[in-house]
Structure 1
Amino acid sequence: MSFLTQTATRRVAMASRSVMAQAPRPFSMATRLQKNPVEATKDTLKQVDRKVSDKLVDGINAASKTAEKVQDTNIGSKVKGTAEQVKGEAAGKAEELKGKTAGKTEELKGEAKGTAQEAAGK
């Protein structure tokens, strides 16, 4: 064998070994879907925003249910009943004072008549 043939054979043999020693390639030929730090941060923020929004909606729903329960309970009727009671008491007190005033007026009329008769009889 000639010198050139030996050298070429060795180089081809070495080249084939170096090709075999390369890192293994992934099974899939598609590009890897890796997210850069900006995209990963955006996704994390979206998840956090979604969770916060869900909690806020839950809070709003709970508040509206509580408001409905307050309206549905007898609080309104109790307040109405108390108002009617106070109104009745005030009307009763007004009638009482009206009666006292009428009585006092009649009393003063009687005294005035008595005084007038005494003055006329003298």
Structure 2
Amino acid sequence: MSFLLRTLPRQSTRAFAPSTIAPRAFSTSFVQRKSATETVKDAAKTVDRKVSDKLVDGIELGQTAAQKAKSAAGMSADEAKGKAAEMTGEAKGKAHELAGEAKGKKEEIKGKL
């Protein structure tokens, strides 16, 4: 019975003690805290994305300008390649002609000496 005297007063004080419930916050997700390096990485990604978007816009503008210039000149891509090859041939012919003239002058000067 001695055990009843020890446990009975403890239980009786608990039974009549006012119960207090600690308030707890209800949350379905963890609080996301970024470190300094993560913040810098995010900022760098944002800047990189904006810069690359502007560069792509610039490249597209250059391409459209080139297409407009070709259409204004009245040539398609194949015509432009053909014209370039023709001009290259003319330049090579002119170079051979001038080289021949130079050799002729050289021989002429050699003959006078």
Higher relative contact order (CA 8 A, sep 6+): 2
TM over 0.5: no
Larger radius of gyration: 1
- Give TM-score scaled by structure 1 length: 0.40
TM-score under structure 2 normalisation? 0.43
